[in-house]
Amino acid sequence: MTEPDLPRIRLRPNKNAQPLRFGAPWAFTDTLVLDRRSRAVPAGSIVVLEDAERNALGQGAFNAGSRIGFRMLDPDLSARIDDAWIAARIARAAALREALFDAPFYRLVHAEADGLPGVVIDRFGAVCVIQPNAAWAERMLPGFVAALLALPGVTTVHKNAAGRARGLEGLDDVSGPLAGQIDGVIDVPMNGAVYRADILGGQKTGLFFDQRPNHAFAARLGRGRRVLDVFSHVGGFALAALAGGATSALAVDASAPALALAEEGAARSGVSDRFATRRGDAFDTMAALEAEGESFGLVVCDPPAFAPAKPALDAGLRAYERVARLASRLVEPGGFLVLCSCSHAADLAAFRGASLRGVGKAGRSAQILHTGEAGPDHPVHPFLAESAYLKALFLRLDG
């Protein structure tokens, strides 16, 4: 039986309920009946969603002020969405990661794909960083904190409120500690290297775990070669390549703090003698390196999302094409080029097309060796294409 005091929200008569019955994670606000009663339901409240014939589809979170009006939490109407329910979901997510990784450094919760829509949690040993990007998660934040502290080895929980997603939900951008205290930058071991994660002042949660398998694949290609890592952040591809036997690596990024962390990571990894950084705009720096006559056995470009949403798609694809064109000119004959995209709006076919156009315009021919994606700590929701956002093209260039 459903809790009697749960509000009920209905789909509009002309909206198909089948996707939600088969596992779709949400319903957009414009598919819902929004009247005075439903608009009065506080953002983040747990409701029952019904089809137009008043058949219940499941329980979820409601926010009339968001583009995503309903987020499915549990199709079981007898379930209680409370702290115990949250703890069970987090425990299930933790069990999967423990089976996948030897050390507790990973994405612990990947939003919809882990049954916690709008919630991202990254784990850095004893520290968990949570991004509650939906109103329901913000309302139930104490339950999340308790569940995380119940995990073996977790002593600290930090809230990261940066990013546009919270603004779309009507939430603030105030980050801060929720439990325990973070003492400085954290060492993160991955792929034989040590990275420096700045939880308090870095990008997103402090480090990007999603590229871990792509770092490893690129490191194999970089053995015995000079490596150029463009949009390097804290040295993701460069440090893995050096750990894997690259002769040298140059990290390029516009952020001085990120490059400083990359240098610290190189020191902790014991590869400082083969590592260098260059601060500057990525496009300008690649053009300058070409003018200087530089070439590399492996060039990696891992830019920010140029097409985070559909309105930016055309401009984003042009930017990816430009990246590929400039980077291709820096790859020595028979060398390797890795091009990445984390843009939700640009699917693999569109990104690959733009990248190969750029390679062609640089006068290079290519073999596609491998197409990478996010690691298994970023599972894909089968009904949510956006959860498969990361793409990495591994190319061998001739000519």
Active site residue ranges: 342
Cα-to-chain-centroid distance, residue 146: 24
Any long-range contacts for 145-154 (C-beta under 8 Å, 24+ apart)? 145/178, 145/179, 146/83, 146/87, 147/83, 147/86, 147/87, 147/90, 147/91, 148/90, 148/121, 148/179, 149/179, 150/87, 151/90, 151/91, 151/94, 153/104, 153/125, 153/126, 154/123, 154/126, 154/127, 154/128
Helix axes 236-243, 212-221, angle to 10 degrees: 50
Q: Provide the 8-state DSSP code for 65.
A: T
Q: Do residues 123 and 154 lie in contact, with contact meaning Cβ atoms separated by under 8 Å?
A: yes
- 156 forms beta bridges with 127
Q: Is 390 helix (H, G, I), strand (E, B) or coil?
A: coil
Helices (H), the chain: 18-22, 36-39, 83-100, 135-139, 141-149, 164-168, 212-221, 236-243, 256-269, 282-291, 313-328, 348-361
Q: Give CA–CA dist 50/55, Å, rounded.
A: 5
